[in-house]
Amino acid sequence: MRVFVTGAAGFLGSHLADAFIARNDEVVGCDNMIGGDLQNLPEGIEFETADCNDLSAMKRLTKGVDLIYHAAAIATEGLSVFSPALIATHVYTNTATVLAAAATNKVKRFVHCSSMARYGNGPVPYVEDQPLEPTDPYGIAKYASELLVRNVCDTYDIEYTIAVPHNIIGPKQKYDDPYRNVASIMINRMLQGKQPVIYGDGGQKRCFSFVKDCVNPLIKMGTLPNVVGEAINIGPDEEYISILELAEIIAELLDFKLDPIMVPDRPREVRYATCSADKARRLLGYRTTVTLREGLLSIIEWISSHGTKPFEYHLPIEIDSPLVPATWTSRLI
């Protein structure tokens, strides 16, 4: 089988490429390198540095492909409130471009990696068929992308599935990005002897999913016949914790004296977000194999072995407003 992975030098995309190469499948990948790292790429991948918005490149790279995983996105939910055009371009428009290439080349199946941002402030635990109420431009772009996937794939007879991952953590995650990946941000700071930054009171609650536990069900979403047309939450519904509790666990693992820096809330941040994994268990045989502590230890080992980094403010803030967190405008992280 020939598989195309967008965002292949990024976090989730590189792990997907690893897994398919281990299965002896042919893997083609692209990344625009906004958030990717060439060191993440597995041996054996056919890789090209290309943006998913480049239609000619997408048509060329998807020629002869059986299966597409669209994992490329600028997944900065908090930043999206202040940079909606950036997010629209690299979440919605890039999906449209990859879909156009898929339809042109008659790709058999398209697996779209969405986000639980689709649910917004809906009741938790989120279930796949509840009303979708995204609260920020990132969630809106992800939901709009899902609608586009369904529309284009139905029109051109492409099988599709929509994966809805939780907050994924693990090795290869970009840890010098101040806009996303809260666990990696905290670990990078604490390893430098710096206190973590917490927005609001730290009572926002999340579940965190180890990347290995996401890749296995994602592969099944691209290969099993019983999942076509389905949207499926991928991630644990155990260990639902607050951001402050997350900081406490990391501090304990690092033997770090915690005294977090508390800053004002970010606008439109969802307070409670966790998904039911019942559908994934039923259709994909999903189960959690890595605990939160084990996952955090793997990140600690990864960052320690690769060295801590200063944070890179690599994305533009499009809206000049006093609502923009000072942590970003003054580069305090």
Residues in contact with 242: Cβ distance below 8 Å, sequence separation at least 6, in sequence order: 202, 203, 204, 205
Q: According to DSSP H, which parts of 109-210 are helical?
A: 137-155, 182-191
Q: Can you give the pLDDT at residue 69?
A: 99
Q: Are 133 and 120 in contact (CB under 8 A)?
A: yes
Residue appearing with tokens 């794939």: 153
Q: Can you give the pLDDT at residue 33?
A: 98
Q: Can you give the pLDDT at residue 226?
A: 95
Q: Which parts of the chain sit beneath pLDDT 70? A: none
Consecutive H or E run containing 244 = helix 243-254
**Dist CA 161 CA 207 (whole Å):** 23
In terms of C-beta distances under 8 Å and separation of at least 24 residues, what long-range contacts does 149-155 make, across chains too? 149/95, 149/99, 149/110, 149/112, 150/229, 152/96, 152/99, 152/100, 152/102, 152/103, 153/99, 153/110, 155/103
Q: Can you give the pLDDT at residue 162?
A: 98
**Amino acid at residue number 152:** V
**Dist CA 31 CA 262 (whole Å):** 35
Domains, the chain, in order of start with CATH, read 2-168+209-234 (3.40.50.720), 170-206+238-274+289-313 (3.90.25.10)
